[in-house]
A = this chain, B = another copy of it.
């Protein structure tokens, strides 16, 4: 079996897992259910993942990689200023999550399951993401766009907190709103608090 085909099947399992876990919760989802949706036998799952938990981790890793790659592109854009970058990052965050509700559910709900998961897995990659946000804030301070008194690292968490809550709110909302609609207000509030008076 070629590496490509193998990878394709791995992705199929991950995709199936996202759907199932989003709908039934991590503990409510059985490995058999994931296998069923992926169209493979139960045992096959274990040829691609060490354990049920490893699937959850892989979902996180794969998605987080996408976030970080895109965010890095924004941060490193020499053309844009700090405010523009932050605005684009907010848009990125909400757009990526808004594009896949199942994935968003897992991010906003299932990854919060256990301190264990949050500490060991989420937070490591998360730090990287937060670091990228912080670097934008730092750039803004340097360029005199943002207030010099704000703490970059702390602010990054605030920004993330707002985005996170908005995403959670969207995920839990029954109404089928578009997450993108929240980009503008979110930017206004956050930039309002950061901008130099």
Contacts and interface: CB of A to CB of B under 8 A. Distances in A.
Contacts of A171: 115
24 contacts: A25-B115, A25-B116, A28-B114, A109-B112, A109-B118, A112-B113, A113-B113, A115-B172, A118-B172, A123-B172, A151-B185, A155-B189, A158-B162, A160-B165, A161-B164, A161-B165, A161-B168, A161-B169, A162-B162, A164-B164, A188-B193, A192-B194, A193-B193, A197-B197
A80 interface: no
Nearest to A174: B119
Nearest to A192: B193
A61 B5 CA distance: 44
A177 to B, nearest CB: 12
The number of chain A residues touching the other chain, given as a range, is: 35 or more
A106 B114 CA distance: 10
Interface of A: 25, 27-28, 105, 108-109, 112-116, 118-119, 123, 149-151, 154-155, 157-158, 160-166, 168-169, 171-172, 185-186, 188-194, 197
A28 to B, nearest CB: 7
- The quantity of this chain's copies bound in the complex is 4
A21 to B, nearest CB: 11
Nearest to A190: B193
Contacts of A157: 165-166, 169
Contacts of A192: 192-194
Given A164-B165, A165-B164, A189 B158 contact: yes
Contact of A112 (B112, B149, B160, B166): B112
